[in-house]
């Protein structure tokens, strides 16, 4: 590691950092799942969003749905 442009000495650091990234991702996924399934964390919709929800759920995939302007 004495030279910035020199050949890599080993792959140990890269593998360790990649494994740490995967581990953090798995832990974040588990915590997110627990928030939603155990504690039922979610988002409360505004009244206009609740009215639009039925059309959004029935819209085919990759279709743009226009929102109504709140008055």
Mean pLDDT by 10 residues, the chain (71 residues): 72 93 97 88 83 79 62 54
The pLDDT value recorded for residue 71 is 54
Which residue in 57, 61, 39, 41 sits closest to 49, CA to CA? 57
Q: What is the pTM of this model?
A: 0.52
| CA distance readout (Å), 63 to 12, 59, 70 | 46, 7, 22
d(CA 47, CA 9): 60
The pLDDT value recorded for residue 23 is 98
Place of tokens 């759920």: 57
Number of H helices, E strands in the chain: 2, 0
The pLDDT value recorded for residue 18 is 97
């Amino acid at each position: 590691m004495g030279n910035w442009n020199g050949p890599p000495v080993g792959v140990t650091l890269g593998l360790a950092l990649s494994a740490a990234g995967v581990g953090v991702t798995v832990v974040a996924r588990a915590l997110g799942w627990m928030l939603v399934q155990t504690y039922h964390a979610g988002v409360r919709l505004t009244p206009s969003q609740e009215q639009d929800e039925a059309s959004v759920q029935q819209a085919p995939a990759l279709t743009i749905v226009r929102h109504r302007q709140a008055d």
